Amino acid sequence: MSILQDFIKTGDWKGEKHVPVITCADTFKAGEVTDVTLSIGDAISHPNTAEHYIAWFKLFFVAEGSKNVVELGDVHFDSHGEANLFTEPKAVFSVKLPSSGKLVALSYCNLHGLWENVKEVTAE
């Protein structure tokens, strides 16, 4: 039994500021580069301060019919006001996907934990 599954929250990003927004084409050509953008706060902004911030994103892919999840990448956001520097939680992953499947994004807020979003994509 997984412990983490009890702590990964989700919701509609339009109403919950912690849910990562997955922006990409709904359909793509298998094996060709396509861009997947992850962001936070597209509808409701999330704080970016030394006390409260989004620390990282991870992006996974689950191919249609597969029982395995594959990590595509991760990105850390390390500046939250120190010396008046800020890294905003937004990143573009350029990926080649072999088939239809599900893009799964995780975000981590230092105060509010893990948040997930899923987007189904279709290979042409």
Catalytic residue numbers?
Answer: 16-18, 46, 52, 109, 112
Tokens of 94: 């350029």
Q: How far is the CB of 52 from Fe ion (least distance, A)?
A: 6
Q: How far is the CB of 69 from Fe ion (least distance, A)?
A: 25
Q: Rounded CA gap, 92 and 107, in Å? A: 14
Q: Closer CB to Fe ion, residue 9 or residue 112?
A: 112
Using CB positions, name the residue nearest to Fe ion. Answer: 109
Q: Rounded CA gap, 69 and 60, in Å? A: 6
Tokens of 32: 């060709």
Residue 9 is a binding residue for Fe ion (CB under 5 A): no
Return the H-helix or E-strand segment holding 115: strand 113-123
Residues 72-111 interacting with Fe ion (rule: CB under 5 A): 109, 111
Q: Closer CB to Fe ion, residue 63 or residue 86?
A: 86
Sign of CA dihedral 74, 80, 82, 86: positive
Residue 112 is a binding residue for Fe ion (CB under 5 A): yes
Residue partners of 76: CB distance under 8 A and separation at least 6: 55, 56
Q: How far is the CB of 34 from Fe ion (least distance, A)?
A: 29
Tokens of 71: 């990590």
Q: Closer CB to Fe ion, residue 44 or residue 69?
A: 44
Interface residue list for Fe ion (CB under 5 A): 109, 111-112
